[in-house]
Amino acid sequence: MSGASPVVAVVPFGARGSDRRYGAWARQIARRLVERFADAGPAAGIELRPVFMVAVSEEGRGPGYMVFGSTPDAELAAGYGASVGASHVLTGTYLHDDLTPTLEVTLVRVTTKESIRTERIGARELRTVEPALASWVARALDVETRADIASPAAANDAAYAGLLEAMDDEVNATLLRASDPERAAVAMDRALVGHMDALRADPGCAAAEQRLLVLAAESVEHGDERRHIASLEALTESGPRSWRAHYLLGELRRSIGDGPGAILAFEHSDALRPLKSADQLRLAQMYIEADAPDSAAARLRRIETGSDDYAAARSLLGAIAAQRGDLEAAVTRYREALAAGAPTALRVSVARVLIVAGREAEARRELATLIDQEAHGETTAVARRLVFGIAWPALERELEAAGRAAIEGDVTALARAAASLQRIVAAEPDLWEAHFGLGLLARRAGDVETAERDFRRALELWPEQPDALHELGVALLRAGRVDEARGLLESAAQLRPDDAGYLADAGFAQLRAGELAAARSRLDQAQRLDPEDRITAAYRGELERIEAEVARGRR
């Protein structure tokens, strides 16, 4: 056949017979046929597309369900085909007769709405129906396929029937998930058991194993990992050579916080097929979390030069060496990471190790390089503080003391703190902490203008610093600049979502702005985090008073 490859729409096959399983067999043979050609790719020479048919009750209530018998006439079938852009449509009916069970199929041309081929495929051996049907479709469309489309999916009928029935249970679980989660869970359990039964009947049934793996991978999306962990554990017991099963088992165990179990599964997977560098890196991180640095280091050394993960691996090796006190090795590993493209922020780690080793001149060079490359931000702020500590150790001690005084509000220490901070700014004008401390002192003194200036200077040096945003917002709120304050306090709350005080102040700013719903949301969050906080309670009391006034005004 010349020209474009034919596109065949496959309608879920119907069934006639006394056993409910026959409907599942028919529908899933159609589904398996589509997947068989999809797996073969362009080499198949034909593209198959499924037609999804779901019915609902006449009352329009309750969950949908798959149509059990679907054998449309040629005109209706052609309409289905046109809806999915197909050139042909395949329909069929499984007819169960104890003597001569058959699958009767029809091929319809979409443009003429006429049946062009009909065939009765013997189904006494159920596992042979799918490959026989695939071969017939290719012949009927005069396509010489280059793919193997004629191999049975299972070695015996028990395994194949179990596969089809389990796939049908999967569909039921999907359709019921939103409307009836309990029945959906029962259907999914049946599907998992059915696929394992198929594998017990035929340990080489790759299709059943693949379905278990796909369902396990999808379980993360539905928060259903534990159910699928059990199925993967059974799969690894029956087929211990499946690296994919061990790998997915590791992924699911990791997702539920079972670090040791995940490590064990990944180790089994690696023994069967070496992990990729990204997985080696992640496994090393799990070993670090499990306080097993030697095992972590062994994994990291497997990541080769040139890998996308080499820089991260060298960085972690540096951290392990630093933790052990092997400072020379730590510096070497960190510098290897930087040479391999690690973020320049890693220079802070290099500098810390060099400072501990007494190599302060080298540390200052590392920090100067970082500051030159990144003029603003948290990492640069940390670098400047380290440089300051090297150059002015006495002033750094003063900075610590002045900062405590500014935060705690000890009136006997405020004047001394202000003098210290002024000396520190004169020595190093780019320390955000010094400007932040001066801003706190100015706010306590009621000097909003000076406080705003100092807080904004701190934010220039470290944009989005949560404490500076919060304190500037509080100062502006007290000065009556509600809109500006609300934006700043909301930003601070978003950066510190677990700080009840930040959430409460953001809620109060929303209240002052007249945004009662937003205020309620923030104050409720704050109360959940700290039910005993008196300031939050006072804010909520004011909110409830205003809400009551609004309600009375509406009556």
**What pLDDT shows up at residue 412?**
81
Q: Within 13 Å of residue 526, how many CA atoms lie on the same side as its CB?
A: 27
Distance CA 215, CA 210 (A): 9
**What pLDDT shows up at residue 53?**
66
**Cα-based torsion angle of the residue sequence 429, 431, 436, 437 in order, rounded to the nearest 10 degrees:** -80
**What pLDDT shows up at residue 555?**
60
pLDDT at position 553 over 90: no
pLDDT band at 239 (very low <50, low <70, confident <90, very high): confident
Closest of 46, 209, 207, 199 to residue 133, by C-alpha: 46
Amino acid at 305: T
pLDDT at position 65 over 60: no
**What pLDDT shows up at residue 52?**
80
**What pLDDT shows up at residue 3?**
58
Closest of 171, 152, 124 to residue 36, by C-alpha: 152
| Phi-psi category of residue 102: left, alpha or beta, with phi > 0 → left and psi -120 to 50 → alpha | beta
pLDDT at position 99 over 90: no
pTM: 0.79
* Residue spans of alpha helices (H) in 121-205: 129-140, 157-176, 181-201
Distance CA 449, CA 376 (A): 24
pLDDT digits (tens, 9 = 90+) for 343-387: 999 999 999 999 999 999 999 999 999 999 887 899 999 999 999
**What pLDDT shows up at residue 62?**
41
Q: Within 13 Å of residue 377, how many CA atoms lie on the same side as its CB?
A: 10
Q: Can you tell me whether residue 85 is helix, strand or coil?
A: coil
Closest of 465, 459, 535, 473 to residue 510, by C-alpha: 473
**What pLDDT shows up at residue 413?**
85
pLDDT at position 395 over 90: yes
Mean pLDDT of 141-169: 95
**What pLDDT shows up at residue 409?**
78
In DSSP notation, 108-128 reads EETTTTEEEEEEEEE-SSGGG
**What pLDDT shows up at residue 411?**
78
Distance CA 461, CA 483 (A): 24
Closest of 283, 289, 327, 323 to residue 301, by C-alpha: 283
**What pLDDT shows up at residue 380?**
95
Q: Are 342 and 320 in contact (CB under 8 A)?
A: no
Distance CA 254, CA 265 (A): 10
**What pLDDT shows up at residue 518?**
96
pLDDT digits (tens, 9 = 90+) for 418-468: 999 999 999 999 999 999 999 999 998 889 999 999 999 999 999 999 999
